[in-house]
Amino acid sequence: MSTSGIDRYDDLFWRDEYEPITESDEFLQEIADKADLPSLLVAIAAATGDTAVLTEDLRPPLTPVDTIGHPHGGMSEAQQHKARELALTGLRRLRDERITSVGMLSDTAVTDVLGYLTGGNADWSDSLKHELDLAEDKSAAPDWRFEDVAEGRRFEVLIVGAGVSGIAAGHRYRQAGVPFTMIDAADRLGGTWQKNHYPGVRLDTPTFGYSYSFAQRVDWPHQFAEGGEIDDYLNTVAERAGLIDLIEFGTRLVSSRWDDEAGAWIVVTRDAQGAERTRTFQAIVSAVGQLDIPNIPDFPGAERFRGVAMHSQEWDDSYDWRGKRVAVIGTGASAYQIVPAIYEEVASLTVFQRSAPWMLPAPTYHDNHSEAFAWLVRKVPYYGQWYRLWVITQGIPGRFHTVRAEKDWPGAPLSVSATNRKVRDELIARLTEQFEGRPDLLEIAVPSYPPGAKRMLRDNGVWAKALMAESTTVSTHAIVELTETGIRTADGTHHEVDLIVYATGFKPSDYLDGVEVIGRGGVEIHEFWKGDARAYNGITVPGYPNFFMLYGPNIGGVVAGSLHFMLERAGEYSLEAIREVLDRGVKALDVTPEALDRFVEWVDRENRLMAWGQPYVRSWYQNSVGRVSQVWPYTNAEYWKITEHVNPDDYDFLP
C-alpha cells in the first residue's frame, strides 16, 4: 500500500494502484451479480472517466428505509438488470484496458457522480465532498499553515483526549502546523475503543459508516467491526498521522482557568503518579468523549456483595467468568452484545431488565464481508471508498421519517406516527417469531415506548436465542438490594450469583465531569450550565474563549448520519476559529450568548418533534433538567452548513 499520494489525496490509506483484473467474463458476471450496483457503476465511471453510464433512469430511488435496508438503494428489478449489464461491460473494460488506478475527477464528473448517488439532491453534495478525495474541492484538510499566518506568535493548543475525536483534531492541527500538546488520561489511545473490551464488543452501526474521511480503510473484514478491529484502526491512523509520539499518556486535565490579561488558559494536569503540573495554552480542544463515565446504580447493600462486580466498560479480562453464575443488569447496547457472547459458557445467567430494547433487523450482524466484496476492493479502483460514500449518502436521511411525531397522534405513548406504528408492528412480528413457544418472554420483550425513543439495537436473532436458553432467566422485577451472595428483587426472589455485570450505561449528559473549567468572569462551566450543558454548534460556550468541545452537547446523531463526520467537522471548525483569531491578531474569540440561544432553540424545536422528545419518554438522550442535550436532530448536510464557516457575527473577538 502506497502512501505517496498523501499530499494530493487527503487519505492516510490512499492507494495509487489496484491489482489488475485478469478474470474471465463468467467470473466478472458473478461479481456484477453480487456487487452493490450504485457503488460499482460510480467506481467504473470514475476509473474510466466515462460518467455517461450514470444515467437518470438508473439513479437509485433511495426509498426510505423503515427497518431493513433496501439493496441498491431501492433500485427496481429493471434498473438492476440494466445496471448489471453496464457493470459487466465496465468490468471488462477495466480488465481489457488494464485500468488499475483512479485520479482526481473534473468538477463536472463530481457533479455527475454525486447527482447520481443522491438522486439529484444537490443539498447534500457539499457535505459529501468532505468525504470524497477525488473532488478537487474536498474541503476538509486545512489549506493554510500556521507559519504563514502567525509566524513568531506563541500559540499552543491543548487537545484533551486521544480517542476518535482527539485523533481527528490532532491530524488536522498537525496538517495546519498549529502547535499543540495532546494528553490522554489512559496509557493507550483509542478512547472508548480501548476501554470497552467486554465479550462480544463490536460496532452496532455499519463499519463503512464508521471511519475518518482522511483514513478510508476499505479492507475491513466484518460488516460490523469487532471492537479490537476499531482499536487497531485508530492506532494505525494515529501512527500514519504521526500522532503517537505527540501524545502524553497517563495525563489528566484537572482544571483550566481563563486569564483575560494573558489571553490564555492556565491549565493544571495530573500524571499517573498524581503529580500536578501547571502550564499555559492559548486554546483548548476538549475531546473527552461522551459515553465514558459509567453509570453504576446505587443499590442498597452493594458494598456487602462478596462476588465480583464490574461495569461493562471496566471489564476485568483476568476474571474467568466461564462456568460462573452471572447477573447482567441492563438490556441496552452493551448488554445486547455481552449476553449472547457469554450465555453458552456460564453456569447460569440472569438478565435484569428494566425496559426492553427495540431491535432493528440486521441479519448479517456477525458476518464477514463477502469474497466478492473483498475482490472488488482489491481490484476495482476506489470501489471501497465509493461504497463508503454510498453508505454515508444513504445515512443522510437515515430513519428520520420513522421517528418524526405526528401532532395529536392517537397511538401515543406506544408510537408517534403511522410510520412509527408500522415499524413497531413489524418489529413485534419479528419478536413473535423469535420467541415462538415462549409467550412469557415475548410479553416482556415488547417495549412499552415508541421505536426510536431510545437507541435501537441491531438484531440477527442472537438476543432472543440467549434469553430463551435453559440456563438464562430474565427478571423484570426491580432490584431492591444486593446481598453478600447475590441480588434480591422486589418479588422477594434472591438470585445467587458470582459475577454482577453492570451494563447500566453511562452519564452522557455530565459533560466535562471531573474537570474544572473557569471562564471569563470566574464562572465555572458547570455552574453556567446548571445541569443543562449547551454549546453553540455543540462546540463553543459563551464566556469560555478559545475553548472548543468535540462531541459536545447536541451532536450525536441516533437514527441518521455519520458520527465521524460530526466529530471531524467540530475539530475542523475549531481550527478555522483559531485561524480567525490568528488572522485578526486578537487573543481569542468568544461566542455570543445570542448565538448559543438561537442554536439551542433551533435544535430543541426539532428534538421536540421526534420520538425521543415526547414528554412521556425518558432516556439517556435527556439531561437532568429534561432537555434532550445529547441528540442532533438534523442531517449531516445541515451540520455541514452551520459549520462550513465560522460566522464572525456570532463571536466577540478579544483584543
Q: SS3 of 394, please?
A: helix
Closer to ligand NAP by Cβ: residue 303 or 649:
303
Q: Are 47 and 33 in contact (CB under 8 A)?
A: no
Number of residues in contact with ligand NAP, rule: CB under 6 A? 23
> CB under 6 A: which stretch of 170-178, 370-378, 498-506, 523-531 binds ligand NAP?
498-506
Q: Closest distance between ligand NAP and the C-beta of residue 166, in Å?
A: 18
Cβ atoms of 10 and 214 within 8 Å: the answer is yes
Closer residue to ligand NAP (CB): 116 or 198: 198
Residue 204 makes contact with ligand NAP by CB under 6 A: yes
Asked if 334 interacts with ligand NAP (CB under 6 A), we say yes
Question: Dihedrals φ, ψ of 482, to 5°?
Answer: -100, 145
Mapping DSSP onto H, E and C, the string for 216-245 reads: CCCCCCECCCEHHHHHHHHHHHHHHCCCHH
* From 80, 355, 471, 483, residue interacting with ligand NAP (rule: CB under 6 A): 355
Q: In angstroms, rounded to a whole number, what is the distance separating the alpha carbons of residues 194 and 215? A: 19
How do the residues of the chain divide into helix, strand and coil, expressed in percent and rounded to 5?
40, 15, 45
- Any alpha helices (H) in 285-438, and if so which ranges? 333-342, 371-379, 383-395, 400-403, 418-434
Q: Which of 140, 230, 148 is nearest to 190 (CA)?
A: 230
> Cβ 56 to ligand NAP, closest distance in Å?
37
Is residue 243 within 8 A of residue 232, CB to CB? The reply is: no
For the bound state, the minimum distance from the C-beta of residue 362 to ligand NAP, rounded and expressed in Å, comes to 12
Residue 102 DSSP code = -
- Residue 509 makes contact with ligand NAP by CB under 6 A: no
What would the grid cell of residue 38 be? 450504485
> Using the rule CB under 6 A, which residue among 109, 203, 218, 427 binds ligand NAP?
203
Nearer to ligand NAP, 132 or 329 (CB): 329
- Is residue 329 involved in binding ligand NAP (CB under 6 A)? yes
| Binding status of residue 477 toward ligand NAP by CB under 6 A | no
**Helix crossing, 227-240 with 164-176: angle to 10°?**
10
Binding of ligand NAP by 206 (CB under 6 A): no
- Please report whether residue 501 would count as binding ligand NAP according to CB under 6 A: no
Rounded to 5 degrees, φ, ψ at 281 are -135, 150
Is residue 354 at the binding interface for ligand NAP, with CB under 6 A as the rule?
A: yes
Give phi and psi for 167, each to the nearest 5.
Answer: -65, -40
**Is 311 among the residues that bind ligand NAP (CB under 6 A)?**
no
Q: Does 332 bind ligand NAP (CB under 6 A)?
A: yes
**Of 415, 504, 629, 643, the one binding ligand NAP by CB under 6 A:** 504
Per-residue mark of binding to ligand NAP, 598-637 (x: CB under 6 A) = ----------------------x-----------------
Cα gap 250→612, rounded to integer Å: 37
Residue among 466, 485, 486, 472 nearest 348 (CA) = 472
Which residues touch 76 (CB under 8 Å, ≥6 apart)?
A: 61
Decide: is 114 part of the binding site for ligand NAP (CB under 6 A).
no
* Contact call for residue 475 and ligand NAP (CB under 6 A): no
Least Å from the CB of residue 354 to ligand NAP = 3
x/- map, 427-456, ligand NAP, by CB under 6 A: ----------------------------x-
Q: Which is nearer to ligand NAP, 113 or 497 (CB)?
A: 497
Please state, in angstroms and as integers, the Cα–Cα distance from residue 280 to each residue in 192, 261, 357, 517, following that order: 28, 13, 46, 14
Mark the segment that binds ligand NAP (CB under 6 A) among 38-46, 165-173, 255-263, 333-341: 333-341
Radius of gyration from C-alpha coordinates of the chain: 25
CB of residue 83 to ligand NAP, shortest distance in Å: 32
SS3 534: coil
Interface residue with ligand NAP, options 381, 398, 505, 543 (CB under 6 A):
505
Select from 364, 371, 335 the least CA-distant residue to 350. 335
Figure out which of the listed residues 327, 333, 392, 541 binds ligand NAP, where binding follows CB under 6 A.
333
Query: Measured from the CB of residue 556, what is the shortest distance to ligand NAP in angstroms?
Result: 8
Span from 167-175, 180-188, 499-507, 622-630 in contact with ligand NAP (CB under 6 A): 499-507
The least CB distance from residue 73 to ligand NAP, in Å, is 24
- Greatest Cα pair distance, the chain, in angstroms, is 75
Annotate each residue in 277-296 with x if it binds ligand NAP (CB under 6 A) or - if it does not, as one string: --------------x-----
Kindly list the residues in this chain that would bind ligand NAP in the complex (CB under 6 A). Answer: 202-204, 291, 297, 312, 329-335, 352, 354-355, 455, 479, 503-506, 620
